Amino acid sequence: MQTIYKKKRNRTIVIYSIIFVIFIIVNPFNIFGFIRNIIIIPFNPIVHKGSALGMYISDKIDMISSIGTLYRDNQNLVEKVQELEAKNAILTDVKNENDKLRKELKLLPKDKFKFIGGDVILRDSLGGNQWIEINRGKNDGVTVGKAVVVDKSVLVGVVDKVDATTSRIRLITNPESIINVVTARTGAQAIILGLHGLSISAEDIKMDDDVVNGDVFVTSDIGNSFPRGLTVGVVQDITSSTDQLFRNAKILPSASLDDLQYVFVIE
């Protein structure tokens, strides 16, 4: 019984002690101020050190936050620089295209022909170099059958379909292309045929006509709906036909048909 009584008494003392300490700390009616100060004084060094530690941690957190802010600002700056570089690249590309366009306009014989300039907006991607589409059409004066050129009147194709604002150009490598030509050197006649978008060939050259490798074929004024004298290509290899009545020649087109960007329709 005595043991139980002691345990109860000790528990009661502990409970009252806790309540007393809480009252001192909370000090609801400011009646324990003096006692509270006496109790807290021994802990002042710890409180000061804790305060200093808190300030140190706060400073470090502020520094880390500043580093994060600087990093974000740096990333934003890098992105802006990249954006400016991209815009500069676009402007440079546009300038190069404009320079090329001005160069081609200067090279074309403007005193002889009238031209309708157009951008290539679509290209035959499945059948090879057989056709392209440009952003000029009926509204701009383009009509079917007109020659399409680049550089110094170099023939690249013929208009074969026209809509209000666009036109399709049948390139000289198209197997449906048939162009009457003559050599610039001797006037020997031939017919240029497209070879399935791969190259072009000069057919029906008379056996006794003077045609050699390196000769340049130009358009003739026979059978074509466009002017004479447009450059078509250069003779590379001459062979005899199967019946030995004519000769044929492989022709290297004078224009690079793979990378056409600007073309001119002759009115």
- CA 128, CA 221: separation in Å to the nearest integer? 29
Mean pLDDT of 142-150: 93
**Portion of the chain with pLDDT greater than 90, in percent:** 32
**How much is the pLDDT for 90?**
45
**How much is the pLDDT for 125?**
66
* 142 contacts 136 by C-beta, under 8 angstroms: yes
Give the DSSP letter string of 159-179: EEEE-SS-EEEEETTSTT-EE
For the segment 56-77, what is each residue's pLDDT rounded down to a tens digit? 566 656 666 666 676 676 666 6
The single-letter DSSP state of residue 139 is G
CATH code linked to domain 115-266:
2.40.10.340
CB atoms within 10 A of CB 71: 10
Flag whether pLDDT at 44 surpasses 70.
no
Flag whether pLDDT at 46 surpasses 90.
no
Average pLDDT, the chain: 76
Flag whether pLDDT at 151 surpasses 70.
yes
Q: Among all chains, which residue has been given the structure tokens 């589409």?
A: 133
* 211 contacts 171 by C-beta, under 8 angstroms: no
- CA 248, CA 231: separation in Å to the nearest integer? 18
Mean pLDDT of 141-170: 92
Mean pLDDT of 167-183: 92
